[in-house]
């Protein structure tokens, strides 16, 4: 079994995996419990590991970099056109792997631990911009929670 691209559909408890060979044929399908995923990736020879971008994907992407894999994190919007017929986790994993083989697909970079907003203490939204936020963090948090007041935030920024 020679896997060149591994597509992973991350779930809360169970992850679906689909492996493609160099011709693009599916040679591997498996479901793993999430806590066993890193052990599996540790035993796998270096390959492209593709996932939909989310907070957990960055953690797994950093682990893949340490083990010699090439992580590719993509927006779910890029994966959707490759899902065949009825959507389920196994088909999502296959679609993620197929989307990762396309040369024109944009993949986001894996965030380093110190760059993630949660680790650096930054909030989402305006605090990530170059200029300082005009609001205290507790007021900013309340505004971000309620979409109805987003226009207020735009006026204050």
Question: What's the Cα-to-Cα distance from 4 to each of 20, 25, 46, 48, 155, rounded to whole Å?
Answer: 6, 10, 8, 6, 49
Q: What is the pLDDT of residue 111?
A: 73
Q: What is the pLDDT of residue 145?
A: 52
The whole-angstrom separation of Cα 8 and Cα 118 is 24
**For 38-54, what is each residue's pLDDT tens digit?**
999 999 999 999 999 88
pLDDT over 70, % of the chain: 70
Q: Tell me how far apart the terminal alpha carbons of the chain are, to the nearest angstrom.
A: 54
pLDDT over 90, % of the chain: 40
The whole-angstrom separation of Cα 11 and Cα 93 is 11
79 contact partners, CB below 8 Å, separation of at least 6: 52, 92, 95, 96, 99
Domain 5-100 indexed as CATH 3.30.2290.10: no
Mean pLDDT of 58-85: 88
Domain span(s) for CATH 3.30.420.10 in the chain: 5-100
Residue 143 pLDDT > 70, yes or no? no
Q: What is the pLDDT of residue 54?
A: 83
Q: What is the pLDDT of residue 48?
A: 93
Q: What is the pLDDT of residue 150?
A: 57
Question: What's the Cα-to-Cα distance from 55 to each of 34, 81, 147, rounded to whole Å?
Answer: 14, 23, 22
Contact 73, 110 (CB under 8 A): yes
The whole-angstrom separation of Cα 133 and Cα 156 is 9
48 contact partners, CB below 8 Å, separation of at least 6: 4, 5, 6, 69, 70, 72, 100
Instruction: Give the mean pLDDT of the chain.
Output: 78
Residue 115 pLDDT > 70, yes or no? no
Mean pLDDT of 121-133: 45
Q: How far is CA 144 from the centre of its chain?
A: 23
Contact 96, 10 (CB under 8 A): no
Q: What is the pLDDT of residue 133?
A: 47
């Amino acid at each position: 079994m020679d896997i060149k691209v591994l597509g992973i559909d991350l779930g809360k408890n169970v992850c679906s995996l689909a492996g493609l060979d160099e011709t693009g044929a599916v040679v591997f399908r498996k479901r793993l419990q999430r806590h066993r995923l890193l052990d599996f990736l540790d035993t796998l020879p270096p390959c492209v590991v593709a996932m939909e971008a989310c907070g957990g994907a960055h953690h797994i992407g950093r682990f893949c970099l340490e083990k010699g894999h090439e992580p590719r994190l993509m927006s779910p919007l890029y994966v959707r056109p490759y899902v065949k017929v009825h959507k389920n986790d196994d088909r999502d994993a296959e679609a993620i792997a197929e989307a990762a083989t396309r040369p024109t697909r944009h993949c986001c970079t894996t965030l380093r631990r110190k760059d993630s907003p949660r680790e650096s203490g930054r909030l989402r939204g305006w605090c990530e911009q170059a200029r300082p936020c005009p609001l205290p963090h507790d007021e900013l948090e309340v505004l971000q929670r309620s979409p109805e007041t987003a226009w207020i935030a735009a006026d204050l920024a």
